[in-house]
Amino acid sequence: MSWLNRVGNSWLLAGQVILHLSQGRIHRRNTLDQLSAVGLESLFIVLITAVVISGVFTIQLAREFINFGASSLIGGVLAIALTRELTPVVTAVILAGRVGSAFAAELGTMKVTEQIDALQLLRTDPVDYLVIPRVMASGLMLPVLTILSLLTGLVGGMIICASVYNISPNLFLTSAQNLLAPWDLLVCCFKAMVFGFLIAIVGSSWGLSTTGGAKGVGRSTTDAVVTALLGVFVTNFLISWLLFQGPGSALSRAF
C-alpha cells in the first residue's frame, strides 16, 4: 500500500473515531490501560528532556540578553518560547517516537497474526476496542505531559539563571508572569491535544494496514513515526500561522 493511500486511510480512521466518540462508544478498561502507558510511562523521559532543552536554551539566551542589559526579559522570553513552541513540539516528538511506534507495532502484529480478524468474528469493532482508547489516551495525556514539561523547563531555566548568571528567581518569575498570557497556555494545550490525536491516528492506521509479516511490521512502525513527526511539524506551522499573525504584544507588557 502506498504512502498516500495510507494517509487517506488515516483520514478515514479519524472520521470513524470522531463518529464513534460522538456516540459514546468508549472501552473504559482499555482506555485506562492506555492512559497509564502513554502518560505515566512517558513522564520521566519527558521531564528529563524538558530540563535539557530548557537548560540549553537558557544558556544561549542569557548570555546574549545580559550583553544588551536585558536580563529582566530572560524569564519571559524563555517562558514564551517554551509555551508556544518548544514544550508542545518536543513532547510530541518524544511521544511520536515512543508511543506512536508502539501503537503501530502492537496493532501491526495483531494484524499480521490475524488477531484483528478474530475480533471482528467476535463482533468486536477494532476501532472501539483498540483505536479509540489509544486516541483518547494520547489526546488527554499529551497536554498534561506538556504542562508538566513546561513547569519543569521553567524551573530548570530559573535555577541556571540563578546559579550561573546571578539572576534572582524573583526577577525571572516576574518576567515570565509579565510576558506570558493565558492565551499562550491555551494554545499550548490545544497544540498538544491536536498532536496527541494525530500521533495516535497515524500509529493506529499504519498498524491496522500492515501486511507482509514481521518485515511489514518493522516497515509500518518506521513509516508511522516518520509520518507522525512530519504531521506534527506541518500542523505546528499551520496552527502558529493561524493564531499568531500580526504584530506581537508580549514584549510591550514588560515595559
pLDDT at 70: 81
pLDDT at 110: 92
∠ at Cα 176 (171, 178), nearest 5°? 95
* Residue 251 pLDDT greater than 60, yes or no: no
Site of grid cell 494496514: 209
pLDDT tens digits, one per residue of 124-145: 888 999 999 999 999 999 999 9
Q: Which grid coordinates are listed for 13?
A: 480512521
DSSP class per residue in 17-61:
HHHHHHTT---HHHHHHHHIIIIIHHHHHHHHHHHHHHHHHHHHH
pLDDT at 68: 83
Contact, 207 vs 106, CB < 8 A? Answer: yes
Rounded Cα–Cα distance for residues 1 and 113 (Å):
18
Answer yes or no: pTM beyond 0.85. Answer: yes
* Residue 246 pLDDT greater than 70, yes or no: no
DSSP class per residue in 97-109:
IIIIHHHHHHHHH
* Residue 109 pLDDT greater than 80, yes or no: yes
Share of the chain above pLDDT 90, in %: 61
